[in-house]
């Protein structure tokens, strides 16, 4: 019998374990919970993924954008994917079957077409950069070929008496290029192995310095790192990489991969405004953008900067002193302290509401770009504050929000 063969071929979505930095962005972004992870890998459930692509552009490394043509019956299970160190090569069976099916007009090849590309509006922020952002470099250095950087500075930013131990760490790349833009991140490979005997995964940190160097004209960058001493439930846990970094001495070397990130980037047109909202170490990209604007201001950048910055107390707010020294006509800085003795608890979203008229003025302007970085919990609160402010001032949030997202003007990075 030579009739058409019934074969169901699938374009299976996979994540490259060699490049993935386990930042959880894909899992958070997936609107249908097709992505999951264990201690080893992030993986995609073949029977759930519908190829909507919502996860693809937010992925900072591009590890998410991998596809293999397989017979549906032979799709890689998540248990198999959990064990991988590298992606499997494209096999031939499915390709042969696909070609045979197509040649014979066979049934079942439908799922092997390009991913569905359906419109997904569950993504809360932009998945595209501002139109005027510079083109970033990504993945120049990988797990297999990291770059070695030298520590040239490591300073505690928070008062010694406080619980929050936040460091400003400066890394120098010598003569090897490590080109970055404000808003990008890098990965640090901590030495040693995890309890399962495998090398530790890279940990991702936002870069706190502008593109032209922590020190202008130098090939160095800075990071803002908080020493992790407890987990989300308050249980004692010593963060592997944060403790490693905070304990580094001048002259030590570290392995760096990256850079990562191609959407959380600043606009480059001179009259663009930045509305920046952050807590704690989420201040790193805001510092980078602010400093770049400060350097550019001398060359005629005219856009406004407005910052909302939350911390437990003034003593625990990184860069408090330097921020206060910036001219008031350059940046409108607003602090929110949640644990100042004798004072009511204030979060960034509370202070945004107090400054509603000025926030609304920025929201009204198509040249305003919004950046939110810090604790996961703040994301809802900040979006609700933006909604309330917009609605009160006759700017229908329902139409403004999708427009901000579409135009690369609302960037969210929370953890
Ligand atoms: P809190 O005192 O309630 O923890 P951290 O020091 O843990 O990085 O936190 C930085 C700041 O963010 C703190 O002031 C913290 O307040 C605040 N914060 C915690 N949860 C939220 C939230 N849901 N929205 C806004 N800010 C928050």
Structural domain count, the chain? 3
Q: Is 201 in the same domain as 239?
A: yes
**Candidates 309, 375, 412: which one to mutate for ligand 1, based on the most atoms within 8 Å of Cβ?**
375
pLDDT of residue 1: 45
Question: CATH no. for residue 42?
Answer: 3.30.70.20
Please check whether residue 171 is in contact with residue 215, taking contact to mean a CB–CB distance below 8 angstroms.
no
6 among annotated binding-site residues: no
Whose C-alpha lies nearest to ligand 1, atom 10? 311
Whose C-alpha lies nearest to ligand 1, atom 16? 338
- Whether 196 is covered by a domain: the verdict is yes
CA distance 184 to 373: 12
Q: Is 277 in the same domain as 403?
A: yes
Q: How far is the CA of 185 from the centre of ligand 1 (A)?
A: 22
Q: Which residues of the chain have pLDDT under 70?
A: 1-6, 92-122, 298
374 among annotated binding-site residues: yes
- Whether 140 is covered by a domain: the verdict is no
Q: How far is the CA of 164 from the centre of ligand 1 (A)?
A: 12
pLDDT of residue 93: 59
pLDDT of residue 120: 47
Whose C-alpha lies nearest to ligand 1, atom 4? 312
CA distance 187 to 146: 9
206 among annotated binding-site residues: yes
235 among annotated binding-site residues: no
**Residues 79-131 pLDDT 10s:** 999 999 899 998 765 555 555 445 443 333 333 434 444 444 568 999 999 99
Domain that holds residue 226: 147-260
Closest by CA to 400, choosing from 355, 357, 366, is 366
163 among annotated binding-site residues: no
Please check whether residue 311 is in contact with residue 337, taking contact to mean a CB–CB distance below 8 angstroms.
yes
- Whether 397 is covered by a domain: the verdict is yes
Q: Is 329 in the same domain as 251?
A: no
Question: CATH no. for residue 182?
Answer: 2.40.30.10
Q: Is 356 in the same domain as 392?
A: yes
Ligand 1 atom with minimal separation from the 378 CA: 24
Q: Is 228 in the same domain as 207?
A: yes
- Whether 240 is covered by a domain: the verdict is yes
Ligand 1 atom with minimal separation from the 377 CA: 23
Q: Is 277 in the same domain as 410?
A: yes
Q: How far is the CA of 160 from the centre of ligand 1 (A)?
A: 20
Phi-psi region of 165 (alpha: psi -120 to 50; beta: other; left: phi over 0): beta
Q: Is 333 in the same domain as 286?
A: yes
Q: How far is the CA of 344 from the centre of ligand 1 (A)?
A: 13
- Whether 133 is covered by a domain: the verdict is no
CA distance 298 to 291: 12
Q: Is 340 in the same domain as 374?
A: yes
281 among annotated binding-site residues: yes
77 among annotated binding-site residues: no
215 among annotated binding-site residues: no
- Look up residue 382 and give its two tokens: 């900040």
User: Exposed (0-12), middle (13-18) or buried (19+): which is 357, by Cβ within 10 Å?
Assistant: exposed
Whose C-alpha lies nearest to ligand 1, atom 22? 378
Domain stop point among 215, 238, 260: 260
Q: How far is the CA of 317 from the centre of ligand 1 (A)?
A: 11
Maximum separation of any 2 CA atoms in the chain, in Å: 86
Pocket residues for ligand 1 (CB within 6 Å)? 164, 279-280, 310-312, 338-339, 347-348, 375, 377-378, 381
The alpha carbon of residue 99 and the mean position of all alpha carbons in its chain are separated, in whole angstroms, by 39
**Candidates 166, 279, 345, 380: which one to mutate for ligand 1, based on the most atoms within 8 Å of Cβ?**
279
User: Which DSSP letter does residue 5 get?
Assistant: P
Ordered strands of the 331-337 beta sheet: 331-337, 305-311, 273-279, 368-374, 410-414
Q: How far is the CA of 337 from the centre of ligand 1 (A)?
A: 9
Q: How far is the CA of 239 from the centre of ligand 1 (A)?
A: 19
- Whether 124 is covered by a domain: the verdict is no
Q: Is 279 in the same domain as 255?
A: no
- Look up residue 404 and give its two tokens: 């901000």
- Whether 120 is covered by a domain: the verdict is no
pLDDT of residue 98: 56
Closest by CA to 66, choosing from 14, 114, 22, is 14
Q: How far is the CA of 201 from the centre of ligand 1 (A)?
A: 27
């Amino acid at each position: 019998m030579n009739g058409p063969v019934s074969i169901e071929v699938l374009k299976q979505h996979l994540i490259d374990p060699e490049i993935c930095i386990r930042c959880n962005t894909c899992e958070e972004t997936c609107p249908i919970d097709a992505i999951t992870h264990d201690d080893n890998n992030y993986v995609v459930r073949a029977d759930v993924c519908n190829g909507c692509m919502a996860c693809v552009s937010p992925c900072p490394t591009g590890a998410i954008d991998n596809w293999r043509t397989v017979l549906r019956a032979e799709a890689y299970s998540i248990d198999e994917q959990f064990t991988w160190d590298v992606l499997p090569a494209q096999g031939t069976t499915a390709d042969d079957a696909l070609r045979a099916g197509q040649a014979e007009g066979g049934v079942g090849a439908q799922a092997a077409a390009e991913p569905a590309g359906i419109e997904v509006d569950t993504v809360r922020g932009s998945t595209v950069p501002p139109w005027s952002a510079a083109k970033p470099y990504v993945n120049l250095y990988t797990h297999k070929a990291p770059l070695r950087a030298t520590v040239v500075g490591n300073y505690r930013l928070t008062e010694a008496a406080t619980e929050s131990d936040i460091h400003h760490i400066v890394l120098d790349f010598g003569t090897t290029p490590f080109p970055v833009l404000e808003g990008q991140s890098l990965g640090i490979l901590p030495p040693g192995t995890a309890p399962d005997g495998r090398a530790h995964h890279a940990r991702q940190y936002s870069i706190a310095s502008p593109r032209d160097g922590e020190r202008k004209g130098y090939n160095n960058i800075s990071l803002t790192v908080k020493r992790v001493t407890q987990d989300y439930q308050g249980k004692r846990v010593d963060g592997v990489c944060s403790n490693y970094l905070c304990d580094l001495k001048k002259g030590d070397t570290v392995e760096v991969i990256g850079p990562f990130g191609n959407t959380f980037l600043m606009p480059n047109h001179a009259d663009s405004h930045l509305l920046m909202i952050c807590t704690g170490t989420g201040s790193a990209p805001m510092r980078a953008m602010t400093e770049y604007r400060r350097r550019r201001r001398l060359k005629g950048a005219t856009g406004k900067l407005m910052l909302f910055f939350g911390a437990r107390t003034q003593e625990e707010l990184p860069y408090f002193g330097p921020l206060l020294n910036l001219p008031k006509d350059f940046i409108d800085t607003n602090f929110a302290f949640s644990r100042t003795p004798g004072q009511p608890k204030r979060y960034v979203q509370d202070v945004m509401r107090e400054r509603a008229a000025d926030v609304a003025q920025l929201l009204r302007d198509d040249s305003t770009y919004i950046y939110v970085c810090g604790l996961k919990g703040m994301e809802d609160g900040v979006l609700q504050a933006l909604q309330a402010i917009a609605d009160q001032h006759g700017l229908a949030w329902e139409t403004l929000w999708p427009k901000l997202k579409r135009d690369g003007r609302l960037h969210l990075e929370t953890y």
